[in-house]
Amino acid sequence: MKSFTTSRRTVVQLLTAAGLVSAGLLGATSALAQSSIVVASTTSTEQSGLFGHILPAFKQASGIDVKVVALGTGQAIDMARRGDADVLFVHDKAAEEKFVADGFSAKRQEVMYNDFVLIGPKADPAGTKGNDIVAALKKIATANAPFVSRGDKSGTHAAELRFWKMTDTDANKGSGYKECGCGMGPALNIGASSGAYVLADRGTWLNFKNRADMAVLVEGDKRLFNQYGVMLVSAAKHPQVKTADGQKFVDWVTGPAGQKAIADYKIGGEQLFFPNATK
């Protein structure tokens, strides 16, 4: 992108010097260069297929292209803190509120939710099946059952660590506990190939193709609620932020059209995310 922008600027400068570019065309070229934004987001929004579903509708409504950089939530927040993104779209409320408190955004808006689920072998050797995530993790630790943690400071990893802290086995998660330092899709692939338990967001699981003999074992615990927030990065911190276009995306995704697009995204008739933006 950088090399393209540089070459485009060079061509325009040469044509201008030759008297071949009008002020109007320069203005149009400038507008074109600004009609895109970067959204730093979590892997679950990308790997679930959500962005592939909603972004064409936003482009049609606004004319703005969106480049999504999908990372673990912690990495996405770091990216936004550096000013390398115009909008932040993640799922770790405590970290998001700190991002706002530190002045990197003026406001956090809730946009949608889904839930976390514990995935594991259908045979469930540790006997985790049910609706109590804390009890399930205790059983995994006691059985020394294989468990794949993302270990990447993502929103899912942060949630997993919160759940472990609710157990009396947090200091000893069992010999089967392993961190992959990877995204949700790769973690699920490791789980599927090794028969391990994995905490996942439901959206990525529903879009996951390599399920082997894995299944949802724990769901329905209210502690598994998974809220997403969206924030415009502060131009006061980073003047290069495309505030107008970024705000258009925030307004759209939290407005009627964006909320409907989120609700309409389904796989096999099952809704992956539930819009809950409030104005």
Q: What class has domain 114-225?
A: alpha beta
Q: Where in the chain is the domain with CATH 3.40.190.10?
A: 2-113+228-275, 114-225
Q: Are 117 and 219 spatial neighbours (Cβ–Cβ below 8 Å)?
A: yes
Which pairing describes strands 36-42 and 87-90: parallel, antiparallel, or unpaired? parallel
Please say whether the beta carbons of 190 and 146 come within 8 A.
no
- Please give the pLDDT value at position 85: 98
| Tokens linked to 38 | 């970067």
Which pLDDT score is estimated for 279? 60
Q: For each of the chain's 279 residues, which pLDDT tens digit applies?
A: 443 333 333 433 443 444 444 444 444 444 444 589 999 999 889 989 999 999 999 999 999 999 999 999 999 999 999 999 999 999 999 999 999 999 999 999 999 999 999 999 999 999 999 999 999 999 999 999 999 999 999 999 999 999 999 999 999 999 999 999 999 999 999 999 999 999 999 999 999 998 999 999 999 999 999 999 999 999 999 999 999 999 999 999 999 999 999 999 999 999 999 999 986
Query: What are 213's two structure tokens?
Result: 């003999």
Q: What is the CATH number of domain 2-113+228-275?
A: 3.40.190.10
